[in-house]
């Protein structure tokens, strides 16, 4: 099919609206991070439980620190962006008076997120409920403006991803997905995305003029373009999708795109046959781990553990969180059929350097041997997270014992295996 045919499809759809036509408008100009989302609901829950609460200037100052706002009145930005996206579309909080922020209250999903060991599962549920443009997920004026739209945006996007090799680019979202008005149009969007991919890069660029010409000013057009990326970040909060730069991928596709980690451990020879994507090494069978390990108590961490769980689940593993249970020496227990393993997650917002194991973690690694994995997450919270899995680290890596009783492996040591 030709450039002219794709161009006509875009223009015909643009001509059907008098809004610019900007398509779905489901998020304000804010990059939604799992860590601040969970921090805010935990703060509100600690203050008021599931009861209505009026946030004070001191509360807003505390929340501003949590999300990194440096201003004299962080409440302005919080209400305009962070709290707004938690109200509409995520429905994690609600305002007791529709147009006022005087009093807010956690919804049932907000309470669930505050106490969640796996935030991704709660947010998958919330994202799956969002409809555009329908109340309560869209404000009344937008419902009126987009009266022809009634679509489950997350579910529709997931269907498009499944029909388009498991990924979409920002341009494809802008041109074909964000204007889906009802479920019956999903297949047509898939068709035109696949045709769009047959065009050259130069041909694809020529199509932007049809939208930019309908949005007055460079700034509004730029904001409209960025909205797709903010939406990708929003959708990446769930378990099904991960944002990677200007693309949105099914989690299983993100796994296949990762740089190969050479397999380590007893089954290395068999594992070596698989040469594409992130390889989750096969643990040996363990009668002991076929049931969740029994107590000790509580540990902290959320985003990295949730990310590792998301990746494992995309490959068919059932995952339980031990993050908040002290004394186990690991964060996650995972099972697939008659195979099971435990994982200790170490993470950094940037590049990971030296790895420290506590005495409990080191004992767990010694005890579970090849069923124990280090899951090293770098660039967590960014659009380019990286995951490295190291099986049986006590056997594979050289730890030095420090007076603090941490068992340490240098960056050079673990990177030589990864």
Cα(114)–Cα(49) distance, integer angstroms: 10
DSSP-based three-state secondary structure for 80: helix
**H runs (alpha helix) in 315-400:** 359-368, 393-396
Cα(239)–Cα(313) distance, integer angstroms: 8
Contact by Cβ (8 Å): 295, 327: yes
How far from the centroid of its chain's Cα atoms is residue 294's Cα?
A: 30
**H runs (alpha helix) in 15-56:** 34-48
Tokens of 397: 């890596």
Give the largest Cα separation in the chain, rounded: 70
Contact by Cβ (8 Å): 395, 407: no
Q: What was the pLDDT predicted at 126? A: 96
DSSP-based three-state secondary structure for 150: coil
Nearest Cα residue to 393 out of 412, 370, 415, 363: 370
DSSP code for 236:
T
Cα separations in angstroms, 144 against 148, 341, 348 = 9, 52, 44
Question: CA quadruple 152, 154, 155, 156: dihedral positive or negative?
Answer: positive
Q: What was the pLDDT predicted at 416? A: 81
Cα(176)–Cα(251) distance, integer angstroms: 22
Q: Residue 243's beta-bridge partner residues?
A: 248
Tokens of 312: 């494992």
> Residue 93: in which H helix or E strand, if any?
strand 93-95
Q: What was the pLDDT predicted at 20? A: 56
Per-residue pLDDT of the chain (418 residues; tens, 9 = 90+): 689 999 999 898 888 876 656 789 888 778 898 989 999 998 999 888 899 999 999 999 999 998 889 899 999 999 999 999 999 999 999 999 888 999 999 999 999 999 888 999 999 999 999 999 999 999 888 899 899 999 999 999 999 999 999 999 999 999 999 999 999 999 999 999 999 999 999 999 999 998 888 888 888 888 888 889 999 999 999 999 999 999 999 999 999 887 554 544 434 444 444 446 777 888 989 988 888 776 543 333 478 899 999 999 999 998 888 876 667 899 999 999 999 999 999 988 888 888 989 889 999 999 999 999 999 999 887 888 899 999 999 999 998 887 666 788 888 888 887 6
Contact by Cβ (8 Å): 314, 258: no
Tokens of 402: 């420090």
Cα separations in angstroms, 182 against 9, 151, 335 = 17, 5, 38
Contact by Cβ (8 Å): 97, 91: no
* Domains in the chain with CATH codes: 1-16+130-257 (no CATH), 27-116 (1.10.10), 258-415 (3.40.1350.10)
Q: Residue 94's beta-bridge partner residues?
A: 105
Helices 34-48 and 303-314, axial angle in degrees (round to 10):
120
Helices 57-67 and 34-48, axial angle in degrees (round to 10):
150
Q: Residue 346's beta-bridge partner residues?
A: 376
Cα(161)–Cα(243) distance, integer angstroms: 12
Nearest Cα residue to 341 out of 389, 274, 275: 389
> Residue 142: in which H helix or E strand, if any?
helix 140-145
């Amino acid at each position: 099919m030709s450039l002219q045919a794709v161009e006509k499809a875009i223009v015909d759809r643009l001509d059907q609206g008098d809004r610019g036509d900007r398509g779905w408008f489901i998020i304000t100009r804010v990059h939604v991070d799992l860590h601040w989302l969970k921090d805010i609901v935990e703060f509100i829950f600690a203050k008021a439980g599931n009861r209505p609460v009026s946030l004070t200037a001191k509360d807003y100052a505390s929340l501003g620190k949590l999300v990194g706002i440096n201003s004299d009145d962080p409440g302005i930005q919080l209400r305009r962006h962070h709290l707004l996206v938690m109200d509409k579309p995520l429905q994690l909080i609600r305002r007791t008076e529709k147009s006022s922020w005087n009093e807010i209250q956690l919804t049932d999903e907000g309470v669930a997120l505050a106490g969640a060991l796996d935030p991704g599962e709660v947010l998958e549920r919330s994202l799956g409920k969002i409809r555009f443009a329908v109340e309560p997920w869209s404000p009344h004026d937008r419902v009126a403006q987009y009266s022809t739209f009634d679509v489950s945006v997350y579910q529709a996007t997931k269907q498009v991803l499944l029909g388009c090799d498991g990924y979409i680019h920002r341009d494809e979202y802008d041109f074909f997905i964000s204007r889906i008005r009802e479920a019956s149009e999903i297949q047509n969007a898939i068709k035109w995305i696949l045709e769009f991919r047959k065009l050259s890069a130069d041909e694809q660029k020529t199509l932007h003029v049809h939208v930019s010409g309908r949005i007055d000013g460079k700034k509004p057009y730029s904001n409209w373009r960025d909205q797709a990326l903010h939406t990708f970040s929003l959708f990446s909060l769930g378990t099904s999708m991960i944002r990677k730069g200007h693309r949105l991928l099914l989690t299983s596709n993100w796994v296949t795109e990762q740089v190969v980690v050479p397999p380590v451990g007893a089954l290395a020879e068999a594992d070596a046959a698989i040469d594409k994507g992130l390889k989750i090494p096969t643990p040996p069978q363990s009668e002991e781990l076929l049931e969740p390990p029994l107590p000790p108590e509580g540990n902290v961490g959320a985003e990295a553990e949730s990310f590792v769980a998301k990746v494992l689940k995309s490959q068919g593993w059932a995952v339980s969180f031990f993050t908040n249970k002290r004394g186990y020496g690991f964060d996650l227990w995972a099972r697939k059929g008659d195979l099971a393993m435990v994982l200790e997650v170490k993470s950094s917002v940037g590049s990971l350097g030296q790895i420290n194991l506590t005495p409990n973690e080191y004992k767990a690694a010694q005890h579970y041997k090849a069923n124990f994995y280090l899951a090293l997450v770098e660039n967590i919270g960014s659009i380019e997270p990286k995951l490295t899995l190291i099986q049986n680290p006590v056997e594979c890596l050289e730890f030095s014992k420090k007076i603090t009783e941490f068992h340490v492996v240098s960056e050079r040591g673990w990177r030589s295996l990864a």
